[in-house]
Chains A and B, each alone.
Chain A
Amino acid sequence: MSKGDASVTKLIELTEAERTLFDQIVWDLTALT
């Protein structure tokens, strides 16, 4: 890894199918209950 940049906090690249799922996920489960 190049330590000098901020690559560690960059979202990994997603395929279209993965992006669709990613966009549908509610990350805070408490928001669903």
Chain B
Amino acid sequence: MNGHEAVIANLERVGDLTELLLARKAVPAVRLNYSIDPETHVGGRGKSRKAVSEKSGAKGSAILRSPHFVKYLKYFLHGPDLPLPSVQGFCKILDDDAGPSGDVQSQIMASVRKDVRSKGLDKRHAADEFFKLAHEAERPDLAENVRSAAMQVK
């Protein structure tokens, strides 16, 4: 099997696994929404990630077997790609939140900036992952702010 054939066979497995997960509704709704909800697609001009993929030619099961889809399956399976202490710190701030919403917003933005800086995270990747984490933590109202906080790191 040459390299191209190996990639095709691998993507076939990615598609097969995704179809099995979707068939038994094993993917958390918040993770599915990331690919199908236009509201979670910053810069998508009102189109979901799925709609953008379809516009570029991929349809139906072919979408699940495109190289671009691998990162979505990883997210479906694992959740946000962040260090565990970052996730725990983020969740603790939300759990401890008892004050005005402005307080938690500034605390969480400061925490995100500190994490990106101190852990040497790629800020663009981290911005997307913290955005997803805010949605998973049922605080979509904070998602844009945490994305911006990660991107602000110099």
CB-based nearest A residue for B28: A12
CA distance A3 to B133 in the complex (A): 10
Could you tell me the dominant secondary structure of chain A's interface residues?
loop
CB < 8 Å neighbour of B138 from A3, A4, A21: A3
Q: Are B20 and A17 in contact (CB under 8 A)?
A: yes
Q: How large is the interface on B (under 10, 10 to 19, 20 to 34, 35 or more residues)?
A: 35 or more
A12–B10 CA distance with the chains assembled, in angstroms: 21
- Complex CA–CA separation, A25 to B74 (angstroms): 11
Number of interface residues of A (CB under 8 A): 24
Q: How far is the CB of B86 from chain A (nearest CB, A)?
A: 9
Assembly CA distance A25 to B73 (angstroms): 11
Across the interface, A24 reaches (CB within 8 A) one of B13, B20, B92, namely B13
Bitwise interface map of A from 9 to 33 toward B, beta carbon under 8 Å scored 1, else 0? 1111111011001101111010011
